[in-house]
Structure 1
Amino acid sequence: MAFKLRQLQFFIAVADAKSISGAAQQLAVSQSTVTTAVQDLEADLGLQLIERTRRGVMLTHKGQLFLRHASRILETVADARRSLAVEGEGATGELHVGVTSLVAGYVFSDLLARYRRANPAVTVSAVEDNREYLEHLLINGELDVAVMVVPDQRVDQALRMELLGRMEYRVWLPHGHPLTASDTVSLSDVAKEPHVMLSLDEVEEATQTFWSEHGFRPKVAFRTRSVEAVRGLVATGAGVAILPDLVYRPWSLEGDRIESRPATEPLPSVHVGIVWRRGSGLPANASDFIGISKMHRAR
């Protein structure tokens, strides 16, 4: 096996962009260069990693498995390079980061820990707020980068965005609930149950939208901005919830079990991305944070 790090980088870009042309644009190289790199990687591995479709490309099952390994390989190489840096030559200065509430305790906490291990001399400050306000701070130059739930449509034209992950919505149920007997549950059945609503970021709006699209109006028994409160309420049988996998955990703080099931009907996804301002030169600390984030995408 003799694949090169460059091939791994190109393969990850294709997986993220879901197209050869999108990856080429992201990497600032020609499409033929990307195609050749992926083909050479497949030849080295003796595996088919991608399949072409009318809408672009998709990963094969083996491709999905290898994607995790490729990300870890690049991460290990980056960590090795940092650990071998001469003492005193590490990054210094400040990094100003914004984060939306839904990702603050999940994606962001992991990214921040990794960044601080790699750059212990950098002073990091973080602001938690809604997406619109964080975009305003980015455009004004008051933030270097932001990790947030991003909309389906493009962010403000003054900003750049890199998608870090997509998480599907699922139905949360208390352990032993009759609906857990099936591998999937229908919204018509879920609509008959009391509903626990998370009023955070765009979650409540998205939830109300898909209920309306499917013609149901469930009774909202509880409304809260706390994910832990939702877990506790669902786990103790006070209601059910429909939330993205991003925040799912199988246990409440009290130790009660929570189960999740996909819905029979299609549900939306939550997209998490890292956003920064276009135009002016990106500070080195921010560029490093973006690089670390791209190597640890939410899967």
Structure 2
Amino acid sequence: MSFTLKQARYFVGIAEYGTISRAAAELSISQSAVTEAVKDLEARLGVRLFDRRRRGVELTYHGHVFLRHAKAILTEVSNAEINLADKGATVSGTLNIGVTSLTSGYVLSDLLSRFRRAQPGIDVSAVEDTGEYLEHLLIGGELDVAVMVVSNLRNAQALHSEILAVSPYRLWLPIGHPLCSHESIALDDLTDEPQIVLDIDEMQAETDRLLSSFQVRPRIAFRTRSVEAVRSLCASGAGVALLPDLIYRPWSLEGDRIESRDVSARLPVVQVGLVWRRGATVATAAHAFLSVAQSFHAPRLR
């Protein structure tokens, strides 16, 4: 028996917000309605989509598989609505986008998929580079817009930015780790834990602030520029990691489980947003992209 679009929306809401109560609040419906919809959805699909935890819910393996399909379905429905509502508003032209490695891997594909369906007449060219170099290209007029971390713009006076979403830091740890059973985890609990640090330029300021939050210098076991290496090391028990929720996935490449937990401390956040040259005339193609991006919710960004 088929499921409904409403059930898919409720499911995606819970997956993105992490709790039924918050999803219900964001969707402006009752918790009981969300709970019943998901129970019925699981019964129709014949699989369990969520593991219930004390502090919320977590997707099961089947839940992660269905999440990809549910988002694709809802995106197609949204694109159909956009195309029918704005049938005469499609434009042509070229669009030059800049992305960093972080946004390229975890934001751009979904965003571009939505944009290309809304504006099939626009030719898109994307370049991936460091945030510093993308700022240089934006100021020089070689890029129309960039999707990047906007917390630490070096040329803020010359650039305009708009935050798309904010991603908090959470603790990654291997399944079975003693801290998995803690109802509340503090930074002091991590003092003796070997830390795996993701050492990439665009998050350098946030990483520095994170490490300075510890009262005692943390024990750093590995520094790497690879998110997949962090996942593998963490899942294998080589250490724990504090990283933005944006890049969290519950499985390593080897298929090992990675748990994620909140930490009761003032941790930095990663702000992902749009950046373009201040005072520049926004071309029609760029304006169309900004319109689509401003209504876009990247996966796992809160």
Q: TM-score, normalised by structure 1?
A: 0.71
Over residues 129-182 of structure 1, what are the superposed CA-to-partner deviations in whole Å (9 max), with x where a residue is unaligned?
A: 122211111111000000001116796222211110011101100000011111
Does the Cα contact within 8 Å between 2:185 and 2:262 map onto a contact in 1? yes
Q: Percent of aligned positions with the same letter in both sequences?
A: 52
Alignment of 1:188-203 (within 5 A): 188-203=188-203
Structure 2 Cα separation of the partners of residues 247 and 64 of structure 1: 22
Secondary structure of 2:201's partner?
coil
Query: Structure 1 residues 153 and 103 mapped into 2: Cα distance closer, same or farther (>3 Å)?
Result: closer
Question: What is residue 80 of structure 1 aligned with on the other side?
Answer: 81
Structure 1 Cα separation of the partners of residues 110 and 198 of structure 2: 23
Question: What is residue 211 of structure 1 aligned with on the other side?
Answer: 211
Structure 2 Cα separation of the partners of residues 294 and 84 of structure 1: 17
Question: What is residue 263 of structure 1 aligned with on the other side?
Answer: 263
Does the Cα contact within 8 Å between 1:183 and 1:262 map onto a contact in 2? no
1:86, distance to aligned residue in structure 2 (A): 6.1
2:27 to 65, 83, 90: 65
1:250, distance to aligned residue in structure 2 (A): 0.9
Query: Structure 1 residues 141 and 152 mapped into 2: Cα distance closer, same or farther (>3 Å)?
Result: closer
1:259, distance to aligned residue in structure 2 (A): 0.5
1:282, distance to aligned residue in structure 2 (A): 0.6
Over residues 226-258 of structure 1, what are the superposed CA-to-partner deviations in whole Å (9 max), with x where a residue is unaligned?
A: 111111110111111000100011111211100
Structure 1 Cα separation of the partners of residues 290 and 282 of structure 2: 10
Over residues 203-227 of structure 1, what are the superposed CA-to-partner deviations in whole Å (9 max), with x where a residue is unaligned?
A: 3442332322332222222111111
Over residues 249-272 of structure 1, what are the superposed CA-to-partner deviations in whole Å (9 max), with x where a residue is unaligned?
A: 111121110001111222111101
Over residues 86-125 of structure 1, what are the superposed CA-to-partner deviations in whole Å (9 max), with x where a residue is unaligned?
A: 69x8422211001111111112221111111222232211
Does the Cα contact within 8 Å between 2:209 and 2:268 map onto a contact in 1? no
Secondary structure of 2:136's partner?
helix
Question: What is residue 283 of structure 2 aligned with on the other side?
Answer: 283
Task: Identify the range of structure 1 (198-207 vs 221-230) with the bigger mean alpha-carbon deviation.
Answer: 198-207
Secondary structure of 2:168's partner?
strand
Question: What is residue 44 of structure 1 aligned with on the other side?
Answer: none
Does the Cα contact within 8 Å between 2:79 and 2:118 map onto a contact in 1? no
Name the aligned partner's letter for residue 92 of structure 2: T
How many residues get paired?
Answer: 235
Structure 2 Cα separation of the partners of residues 243 and 108 of structure 1: 19
Question: What is residue 274 of structure 2 aligned with on the other side?
Answer: 274
Does the Cα contact within 8 Å between 1:95 and 1:123 map onto a contact in 2? yes
Secondary structure of 1:211's partner?
helix
Secondary structure of 1:167's partner?
strand
Structure 1 Cα separation of the partners of residues 211 and 87 of structure 2: 57
Does the Cα contact within 8 Å between 1:100 and 1:201 map onto a contact in 2? no
Name the aligned partner's letter for residue 224 of structure 1: T
1:78, distance to aligned residue in structure 2 (A): 6.8
Question: What is residue 246 of structure 1 aligned with on the other side?
Answer: 246
Q: Is structure 2 residue 113 aligned with structure 1 residue 151?
A: no
Question: What is residue 115 of structure 2 aligned with on the other side?
Answer: 115
Question: What is residue 187 of structure 1 aligned with on the other side?
Answer: 187
Does the Cα contact within 8 Å between 1:131 and 1:148 map onto a contact in 2? yes
Query: Structure 1 residues 142 and 241 mapped into 2: Cα distance closer, same or farther (>3 Å)?
Result: same
Secondary structure of 1:203's partner?
helix
Question: What is residue 96 of structure 1 aligned with on the other side?
Answer: 96
Does the Cα contact within 8 Å between 1:158 and 1:278 map onto a contact in 2? yes
Structure 2: gaps spanning 5 or more residues: 1-21, 30-73
Does the Cα contact within 8 Å between 2:145 and 2:275 map onto a contact in 1? yes
Structure 2 Cα separation of the partners of residues 242 and 149 of structure 1: 17
